[in-house]
Amino acid sequence: MTAKIAPSILAADLLHLGEQIAAAEQGDADRFQVDVMDGVFVPNISFGLPVVAAVRRATKLLVEAHLMIVEPERYVEGFAQAGADVIIVHQEAAVHLDRIVQHIKQLGKKAGVALNPATPANVLDQIVEQVDLVLVMTVNPGFGGQTFIPHTLRKIRQVQQLLAARNPACEIEIDGGVEVDTIGAAYEAGARVFVAGTSVFKHPAGAAAGVRALLGAVAASGNRAE
């Protein structure tokens, strides 16, 4: 499977969101991620349903809603209706994770489960066959522009081994500190979808160049990039 870039709207210029999305598409972005933060599960407040709906109107690519919120089960239906194709919930925030995953899939959406840096990969054991995507956080969630945590590479490898044995169609995505000097090692560890905010939307040559630079870094490390 080739590398896929998922620009994070958190780092975009919201006054020119449509233009920013179009530019990232020109660089061969695969999908877009909207970070939904409630100020409780993570120490920041960001976007909600209207922004997901706006991104949905602006692109035909996949739209991910990454729910960094408490009680995510209360909101998955709303995000599905807003146009999210993939709904990602945190294992740490979900009391009944299996129930939430099944609800997301019943809504006709892809279900993702996110793991914070300190959460071990083995928490996926009872749910691994049910999910479409595992998101390994490579920073502590809540803010953009953070530095990649190196020890998360070990967890990416562990998740890859688990999925290879029990759910090989499931995607491994990472989020946090994705830069040209970190993406190659994460790809080699098993990640295939890369959420990138600052390195895309703050690239000095524009979002398209930011996406291409990340894909080029994967290729330069001896891997295949899309």
3-state DSSP of 83-115:
CCCEEEEEHHHCCCHHHHHHHHHHCCCEEEEEE
pLDDT confidence bin for 142, thresholds 50/70/90 = low
pLDDT confidence bin for 222, thresholds 50/70/90 = confident
Phi then psi for 36, rounded to 5 degrees?
A: -105, 110
Q: Which domains are present in the chain?
A: 4-220 (3.20.20.70)
The one-letter amino acid code at 185 reads A
Q: State the average pLDDT for the chain.
A: 95
Segment 50-75, tens digit of pLDDT: 999 999 999 999 999 999 999 999 99
pLDDT confidence bin for 1, thresholds 50/70/90 = low
Q: Is 4 a residue whose pLDDT tops 50?
A: yes
The predicted model scores a pTM of 0.94
Query: Which helix (DSSP H) or strand (DSSP E) does residue 37 occupy?
Result: strand 31-37
Segment 83-105, tens digit of pLDDT: 999 999 999 999 999 999 999 99
Minimal CA–CA distance to 183: which of 159, 216, 208?
A: 216
Segment 185-198, tens digit of pLDDT: 999 999 999 999 99
- Active-site positions read 35, 175
Other C-beta atoms lying within 10 Å of the C-beta of residue 97? 23
